[in-house]
Amino acid sequence: MGSCLSISLSCDDIVSHCWDSVFERVRYVRNLQENLQALTTSLQELRALKDDKQREAELAERQPRLRRTEQVNNWILSAEALETEINEVIISHSTQEIEKLCCGGYCSKNYRSSYKYGKKVARKLVEVEALKKKGVFEEVAAESLPTTLVDVIPSEPTVGMEPIFDQVWRHVEDEQVGMIGLYGMGGVGKTTLLTQIHNNFNRTRNDFNLVIWIVVSKGHKIEVIQDKIGEKIGLSSGEWKHKEQHEKAKDIFRILNTKKFVLFMDDLWERVELTKVGVPVPDSGNKLKIVFTTRSKEVCSHMAAQKKIEVECLTWDKAWNLFQEKVGKETLLLHPGIPEQAEIVAKECDGLPLALITVGRVMACKETLEEWKHARQVLKELASKFSGMEKEVFSRLKFSYDNLPSQKVKSCFLYCALFPEDFVIRKDDLVYFWMCEDILDEYGNVEEAKNESYNIIGTLLTSCLLEDEGNSVKMHDVIRDMALWLEGENILVDTGAYHAPNVAKWKNAKRVSLMGSDIKSLDETPRSPNLLTLFLRGRFLKRIVDDFFDFMPMLRVLDLSDNSHIAQLPTGVANLVSLQHLNLSYTGIKWLPVELAACARLKYLNLEYTRSLDYVPPNILSNFPRLKVLRILYCGSSNRVFFDNEKTMIEELQGLKHLDVLSLTVGGTSCFQNLDSHHILGTCTLTLCLMGKSPSSYLDLSDVAMANMKYLFKLLIKDMVDVYPTWITRLKNPNCFLGLQIVVVGDCTNLKNLEWLVFAPNLINLTVYDCSKMTRILGLNTMETTPFAKLTVLFLISLPQLWRICENPLPVPFLKKIIIVRCPVLTRLPLNSTSAQTSNLIIEGQEEWWNGLEWEDQAARNAFLPCFRPF
């Protein structure tokens, strides 16, 4: 069987379809002439529009980093292609096809040919009109990035900076970090490091679409920075450069706000106000990056840098590699003695890349051992005379000095050059030097002078002109050489001398330092009318001629400390009528001359650790009414030096109305209580040593005495069998030790604990040693206090029965170092996994002791395991 398909179409449908087809064909022929004219006109308009867009695009492309948009470029290409097609296929045949028409254009001699041609004309007319409508654009050109993301900046390769490069790059890749500041002293390699980071964008995959590099430099102007950025983003026309600052900022912001960019700014000396420039501020939302270099850590803070990274000098091995690279192996191998001399020369550069490179290049052509020895001598004694140092190194470092905020700060900086290379300078010593040389403003008390001094020291630290060493500072060797160069004849420094400098060299000097020298005798009399400071601190000086000080009328600071062989002062000290600072600590002096009374302007007198001192003239302190600092800790072979006649001594101390700082040793309860009864101990920042006179010494401290010592800063308890604790239980004023920061307890044979330390909330340093019966530091009851909350250093030495520091773990967020020596039964530290919030805690002790410690849990042990350093 098959199936049958039937289709039914009405006659009307067939007729209608045929008629439409015939009518459409007739229309193409009938409208041919009209459509052809319209096409010619429309094509001319398209050509004119195309030419206009072409000119606009070419004009825009004359500006850097601008090119026509892909949309405009594609439209122009389409217009050109369509124009060519119409000219070749249609317009060129128009005359021939028109001649085929007849009957007034309604018919054709070749109907089929005319129909096909008319249909092409009609369709091309539609295409032209459509393309004309698409030729409207908001902008014909836009910013064009270079074929590579960054224009590579030529630079020296970094040597020894790989770790810090990796550190910075990790922050660049971290989307949560927007602002990165690199700071460090001049010549340390900040620009070289920044250049390498900049160039690395060409070598790594990243999703940034714009990288900008500008040098800001000192005394920048917002408009100059805007122009530099404008050149990078195509806003560099003469018309744009003449716009107002706020108009430029709007234009820069409009472009940068659409980009994911990295902005490198080299050599900032002060804060750049990004909003005034027009630069969007990076945040976690826009994920933009700004990386800058500066010589000041303070600028990093002012720029709100999320990461402040110090670029430090090179370690010795890396510095040596850099130096060898610049000198060249050929030169180093010319003589077997050159490598040894080369190491000495390289060490004079103290790891500063700029100095290593400068000196290394100069020495590359030095082929004899004698030349290398000469270079070593010049760098050691007067580095400014070494070829290239003044021009290439010191002149660049001087920018940091010039940028200091005042002449006072500059004077304080230059003062630090008096100390030997690598010398660790106590910050408090600088306070008293500056105060007594009248560099600082005149203050009513030491605390105010100290506050200003520490502010100045902070400025020098953030400017990378000093290096922080906790309670002390250091000056980099090359920075020190630069300071000596700046001072010229104003300063005479010879810290390695074997013989005293010729007295003729003292004539114009304002400051002289012979610290650490090997000079044994000063036998000539210098004439130094302008001398303000004289440092004779050392080890070997035995004799000073009597008239040595006769011609130093302006001398204000004299430091003779550490000269254990000096037994007496010259009588010529009577001529030091301007003297304000006298340091005789750690000397072998046996008596003070009565002539010292002529130094009536003394503000600072230090006699600490003068254990041979047997005689002090009666009423000597009464001659120093301006005295602000008196240090007599461990002064004299016995307490009879000052306290044999307690009444006289107390009267003298009471007469010092401006005394702010006092250190002293007290050997008996009677003396202690007499001092306290006259309120001497309650008015000064006090360092107090309670020391027994014999192995059977006891000390009973009343609660009244301790309550009055509200300015007690440092307490030493030594050589006592015991300290009666009755005053602790009766203590009515728990705030009596608020100022106590340092406690040292040693050789107290019966002392079992130091439970009274709960009343010292600001304690930062605790040392306990040779207390044979001590079982714990703190008692069981801490009276609802949090002891050791500010403790940074804890030393426990030779405590054979100590088994606990305290009962429970303590929060010690500031703890930096714990040293445990010969404490065999101490099996637990007051630490758990959450007690120490600092990441740089160091615990030192014997490995056997460490392995025997008990911990609250494994997490606590794991937390502190990286902190341990065995010895």
pLDDT in tens, 733-759: 556 688 899 999 998 888 888 888 888
The C-alpha atoms of residue 707 and residue 318 are separated, in whole angstroms, by 56
Within-domain flag for 550: no
Supply the mean pLDDT for the chain: 84
Within-domain flag for 274: yes
- pLDDT-derived band of residue 119, with 50, 70 and 90 as boundaries? confident
- What would the pLDDT profile of 145-188 be if each residue is shown by its tens digit? 455 567 788 887 778 888 999 999 999 988 889 999 999 999 99
Within-domain flag for 575: no
Within-domain flag for 779: no
Outline where 687-798 has alpha helix (H). 703-708, 726-729
Looking at 264, 291, 310, the residue that finishes a domain is 310
Within-domain flag for 73: yes
Within-domain flag for 529: no
Same domain, 83 and 137: yes
- pLDDT-derived band of residue 53, with 50, 70 and 90 as boundaries? confident
Task: Name all contacts of 400-406 with Cβ < 8 Å and 24+ positions apart.
Answer: 400/185, 400/186, 400/295, 400/463, 400/464, 400/465, 401/465, 401/482, 401/483, 401/486, 403/218, 403/269, 403/295, 403/296, 403/463, 404/459, 404/460, 404/463, 404/465, 405/459
Same domain, 63 and 197: no
Same domain, 373 and 279: no
Q: Which of 73 and 95 is assigned the larger pLDDT?
A: 73
Same domain, 225 and 292: yes
Same domain, 337 and 399: no
Instruction: Check residue 1 and give its pLDDT.
Output: 42
CATH code, domain carrying 251:
3.40.50.300
Same domain, 127 and 225: no
Within-domain flag for 304: yes
The C-alpha atoms of residue 113 and residue 28 are separated, in whole angstroms, by 11
Same domain, 404 and 421: yes
348 Cβ contact list (under 8 Å, min separation 6): 359, 376, 379, 380, 383, 477
Same domain, 203 and 285: yes
Q: What is the mean pLDDT of the segment spanning 384-397?
A: 91
Same domain, 362 and 446: no
Same domain, 21 and 64: yes
Q: Name the nearest CA neighbour of 192 among 261, 262, 267, 263.
A: 267
Whose tokens are 């040389």? That residue is: 437
Looking at 459, 488, 517, the residue that finishes a domain is 488
State the pTM of this model: 0.79
Instruction: Check residue 195 and give its pLDDT.
Output: 93
Q: Which of 127 and 473 is assigned the larger pLDDT?
A: 473
Cα dihedral 770→773→775→781 (10° resolution): -110
Domains identified in the chain, total number: 4
- What would the pLDDT profile of 690-719 be if each residue is shown by its tens digit? 887 654 555 555 544 555 667 889 999 888
% of the chain residues with pLDDT over 70: 84
Looking at 114, 143, 172, the residue that finishes a domain is 143
Q: Which domain, by its residues, includes 32? A: 13-143
Same domain, 274 and 350: no
Within-domain flag for 834: no
Same domain, 71 and 100: yes
